Amino acid sequence: MKTMAKRVLLFLLLNIAIITTISIILQLLQVRPYLTNAGLDYEALLIFCLIWGFVGAFISLALSRLMAKWMMGVQLIDSDTTNPTERQLLTIIQMLIKKAGLTMPEVGIYDSPEVNAFATGPSQTRSLIAVSSGLLRTMQWDEIEGVLAHEISHIANGDMVTMTLLQGVVNAFVMFLARVFAFIVSGLGKQRDSRGSPFLYMACVFLFQIVFMILGSMIIAAFSRFREFRADAGGARLAGNISMIQALKRLQQVSHIRETETQKNASFQAFKISHPGGMLRLFATHPPLEKRIRRLQGRE
């Protein structure tokens, strides 16, 4: 209950911050209304959509480390820790970071039975790597090294910023196209016809945003799958091909055990593992583990 309350509060605070920031920017830029008596002002609409599309995405990125710590309960590891597990974790990350030529990120552990690790942060110099207690209990250190190398590759590739830019572009065009199509369908675009309804226009905006959001999600998911392959390759260069393959194979084993226990497809947070079937594969953010292993083995 406490975790859920935290997430709801953070969601509300984040949205208040986004709406307030966007309102200020619109005022400062003096963005005029895009619906006028003369019709639809496409330039004003595009500016409006770009601001709404990008500001929210970049505020979320800027606060990503703080949100991860608060929502996931990540406890940062002190660089002078004497805990053997924490010391080993820091040693591996320091070694991999040096190979990647990056600045040492914040490193933390959070309590969760899930086999999970993630990297987040607004830039290469302000990043966070967090691992779950479940991952530390489940994997051997050479396998953990492969997981950490994968996450460090995400940081090295600038994947957080790239995904934010892509999300911003998709958000903007979803809003823009939805309003253009709604303007045409609702009848507001017929200047000499009084049958155009503002209520119908808003309903059409809502409907078209859902449709274009689904299409946009497919684009984002496709790029996400590409960046996972790229992070696997980067992880193999940093930790060695064997460690990377062993990490993925161990995740396969964990996935199989969980699916057997629950009698349904499991969805894990580590590498965002999921195995949807049919059309749902188009929305998968990560490729199947089998395919990732075959690619690292040079069989695909």
pLDDT (tens digit, 9 = 90+) per residue, 108-132? 999 999 898 999 999 999 999 999 9
Residue type for position 15: N
- Span 244-257, mean pLDDT? 87
- Find the Cα–Cα–Cα–Cα dihedral 61, 71, 52, 166, rounded to 10°: 50
In-domain check, residue 57: no
In a domain, 48, yes or no: no
Name the least confident of 50-54, 90-94, 195-199, 284-288.
Answer: 195-199
pLDDT per position as a tens digit, 234-243: 999 999 999 9
In a domain, 174, yes or no: yes
- Please state whether beta strands 126-132 and 35-36 pair in parallel, antiparallel, or not at all (unpaired): unpaired
- The domain in which residue 156 lies consists of 75-300
- pLDDT (mean) for 75-82: 95
Q: Are strands 35-36 and 39-40 parallel, antiparallel or unpaired?
A: antiparallel
Which percentage of the chain shows pLDDT scores above 90? 60
Entry pTM: 0.85
Q: Which of 86, 143, 145, 151 is catalytic?
A: 151
Grade residue 30 by pLDDT with cuts at 50, 70 and 90. confident
Annotated catalytic residue 300? no
Token pair in block for residue 288: 């199947």
CATH code of the domain in which 231 resides: 3.30.2010.10
20 lies in a domain?
no
- Establish if 296 belongs to a structural domain: yes
Residue 171 above 70 pLDDT?
yes
Strand 126-132 relative to strand 106-110: parallel, antiparallel, unpaired?
Answer: parallel
The predicted pLDDT at position 277 comes to 60
| pLDDT above 90: residue 5 | no
One-letter amino acid of 143: E
Structural domain contains residue 19: no
| pLDDT average, residue stretch 76-88 | 96
44 falls within a domain = no
Q: Is residue 56 part of a domain?
A: no
Number of domains composing the chain: 1
Closest CA to 268 of 286, 292, 295: 286
Rounded Cα gap, residues 229 and 109, in angstroms: 25
